Structure 1
């Protein structure tokens, strides 16, 4: 699109040389300042209406290419830096959300302007493959960043996605490949929409942000193995209407009316391929080299992601295992392993002892856990995986739970899904003993879960990086001396880890 900029427009980005000068003067060693300047220029393209669609798109594309390395660096910082302060986390999130929102606004404005001119088929085929691909990719990435915060998808995003894809398909370029460089890679309008559709079907609200990023990478790798159809078949799982502004819906029954804008999805061969990789990793293999995850990750980080995708992208997605009953009840809450250890320790008699206890409203209960409705902004520590000690109002017994789902609603209201880990918990400080050695390590404060275990087993909740398959613990449990022999690490995060142990009688 070289030579498109003339000197008749008053906008600085209308001149090709001026655009190159502006990009060339962006600070290369300060991602925050560079993205701030790029954001100002993108906003100016949204506000200014004098640039033709082709020129606005070209300016936005070059600005986005310049932003790409800075976005990657700050995204890595957001996802991989342990214990980010809330202020820094919000800053990094706002930078990405703001960039993708402004970039999408520029592209959508250019698309609407271009279509309103009633271009010839040749003109449309020249511009729409790239313009639609970038727009769909920007909207898809914006959905992902909202998911990092467990918030609702951006307003009308599915209407915007559908319109962008329909515009490309109208001139037969929906599947045309576009090289977008470092921003989106090689893609097409249909590819970007399909990524968004599978991402939505995967129900990411029970994953941590890094796990969401990895899940998206696995989806991208296996995208071609999913089936996307224009007509419904009996084994389709989700469907969407590109002309209707709603996310993909479970195909509980066939649509009442068949329209050309409907699309249907089924796992196809993808589910078996993802399951195959999961089984390989469980047997100790490495990630196949052809899968690009953007870095090297330990197997224990990838396993929960693959298990989640195998469950939610299956031919039959998971159904609710237990009936949910609506209630209105208060529960006292303490968060974190340290607080839980204090409250379950016999030394303190199950009393909070001056700890900062919160009061939450339980909205529904089931055998597996309960849901909580928060009518105030969530605390900084509240996220998927947070460990909770809870006591129902009026009761004396504490139970241990874990945040499994978190949905940040509008107007400060949030919903939290909590899994009950055990209603019988014992706090203890145990010394690990390594098999075949007489030396003992330092005592480890941990929680023994006495309920919900497999026969002959217990689960232990321990500080992070404690589990060692070569070690076991000795303990007096219910008056008998026993050994806890390590079996399997179930889950881990920066606050704690949970592992299965075989229960052996000491001789």
Structure 2
């Protein structure tokens, strides 16, 4: 008989995940008042769970469910804060968005590991347990895409691969339509197919044409209507769209050009569109439609709910052919200003704008750089800059139109100069040309772009350019002046100009224009335009020979 020596030197599993009491302690000590930290800790443990080897499938599934359930209250808190906070600070915006998105990715990673293990060995796991796991995996994808929609970002390339992977396993093992409850308190049962249809119906609803609050309303409405959606192998009544799993492309509207094959499925709203139209009319008249859970939307504006109902009913309805006059009008509108919701980062104040642009440029020439300039190049410079995140409603080639919540002490005023950044575009300089407050106390803002190529620069008075009224000592003691160089952009702008703080400069004086590329000698000629606390100043180049001639006059 062989003796089991392994019991003397075999390593014990020291991971807290192996101990039920330790897992309970982890969950009990999550900071209830700090949802960000709670989600970050749960993300860590889900990632650990996904990569841990030699772990029983049933136990992995149970832990994934416990971590997911423990996180839901924190996800809801952050989602409400993200949607409801007016003009959220960019740093907080980034923290919430990244934390929630990373958590949903960790849920997916753990659930996908469970599904992979299930395909290898399904022993001890019931159909209900694996169906619930697949439902949670699909819901995590729903929330991932929801956070992307709230930022008006496109879906990752592998997103539809993940959708197909979950659905394929559920079809293969026969639980795609198996109804399960998410928890003991859930009023409505769901299934893998229902959860997938929620994702598909949102994708065909053009969420990029809705505000953040409206996107959340659309998500809630789709949850309420999900059991009415239809899924067929071939086009049938109530199907308006199709999904080609072979190409892994986003869903498209059915047309005469649609090619059907064994990996194509058709889906749509079923008969729910007519019910939505009736509900819309009743809500407009002040009545509450039968079976409509109005309490779900008590925290949203009534106008937003009505607009989303109209938007979804139009997006889900069967397409109608347009007349030549309607097509011509659409083309004319597209060439002017079009509705295109997107995220806009905004900085105000010359000091903040200068810091941000300077931090993105190269280090100034050491001969001209001072300590405060070098400090601007530190990695954490953004922490000192107040950046707001706005949602743009309309975009044209040289401007933006948007509506933002008004604040009691608001810096948003006419003629205020801003630095603006649209999604992945570089920073630009704009000015508020139009501003008005509507009935809901929201501020409608029109921003005109001044420059798409702004550069943070500094102006230094040239000592030899002192006037008969000033001594050289007085001039040399003058501080460098922060300014923004607006580069020429033909045909709208043929020459470079400067944005300078009011009363900080003198016209007709010679200055050194200090940039990261070197130094130029310029003369400030005249003020082109006045803004709030800033002037747009025209200048001309000065040759060194002319500077010497100017200096000789005062010797």
* CA deviation map 1:305-352 (0-9, x unaligned): 11111111112279794465999999xxxxxxxxxxxxxxxxxxxxxx
**Within 2, Cα distance between the matches of 1:318 and 1:89?**
42
Match status 1:293 vs 2:296: yes
* CA deviation map 1:232-290 (0-9, x unaligned): 2387321113454222122223643520x432113321111111111112222246564
Q: Is the 8 A contact 1:267 1:315 kept in 2?
A: no
Number of the residue aligned with 1:95: 99
Number of the residue aligned with 1:266: 268
Q: 1:294 to 1:8 in 2, by over 3 A?
A: farther
Residue 150 (structure 1) aligned to one of 144, 149, 152 = 152
Match status 1:167 vs 2:169: yes
Q: Is the 8 A contact 2:280 2:306 kept in 1?
A: yes
**Within 1, Cα distance between the matches of 2:424 and 2:321?**
29
Q: Is the 8 A contact 2:180 2:189 kept in 1?
A: yes
* Deviation of the 1:52 alpha carbon: 3.1
* Deviation of the 1:107 alpha carbon: 0.5
**Within 2, Cα distance between the matches of 1:138 and 1:73?**
16
Match status 1:202 vs 2:205: yes
**Counterparts of 1:22-33 in structure 2 under 5 Å?**
22-33=26-37
Number of the residue aligned with 1:434: none
**Within 1, Cα distance between the matches of 2:129 and 2:315?**
36
**Within 2, Cα distance between the matches of 1:465 and 1:95?**
35
Match status 1:256 vs 2:259: yes
- Secondary structure of residue in 2 paired with 1:19: helix
Match status 1:37 vs 2:45: no
- Secondary structure of residue in 1 paired with 2:266: strand
**Counterparts of 1:365-380 in structure 2 under 5 Å?**
none
Residue 385 (structure 1) aligned to one of 378, 382, 393 = 393
Q: Is the 8 A contact 2:128 2:180 kept in 1?
A: no
Q: 1:48 to 1:79 in 2, by over 3 A?
A: same
Could you say which structure has the larger radius of gyration?
2
**Within 2, Cα distance between the matches of 1:229 and 1:496?**
45
RMSD of aligned C-alpha atoms? 3.7
Residue 107 (structure 1) aligned to one of 111, 115, 138 = 111
Number of the residue aligned with 2:223: 220
Return 5+ residue gaps in structure 2 as ranges: 1-10, 338-352, 354-386, 404-421, 427-432, 447-555
Q: Which stretch has the larger CA shift, 82-91 or 179-188?
A: 179-188
The two structures have a TM-score, normalised by structure 1, of 0.62
**Within 2, Cα distance between the matches of 1:295 and 1:234?**
34
Q: Is the 8 A contact 1:107 1:135 kept in 2?
A: yes
Number of the residue aligned with 1:282: 284
The two structures have a TM-score, normalised by structure 2, of 0.57
**Within 2, Cα distance between the matches of 1:81 and 1:211?**
14
- Secondary structure of residue in 1 paired with 2:216: helix
- The structure richer in helix per residue is 2
Number of the residue aligned with 1:412: 424
* CA deviation map 1:445-473 (0-9, x unaligned): xx8xxxxxxxxxxxxx840336xxxxxxx
The total of aligned residue pairs comes to 359
* Deviation of the 1:144 alpha carbon: 0.9
Number of the residue aligned with 1:494: 442
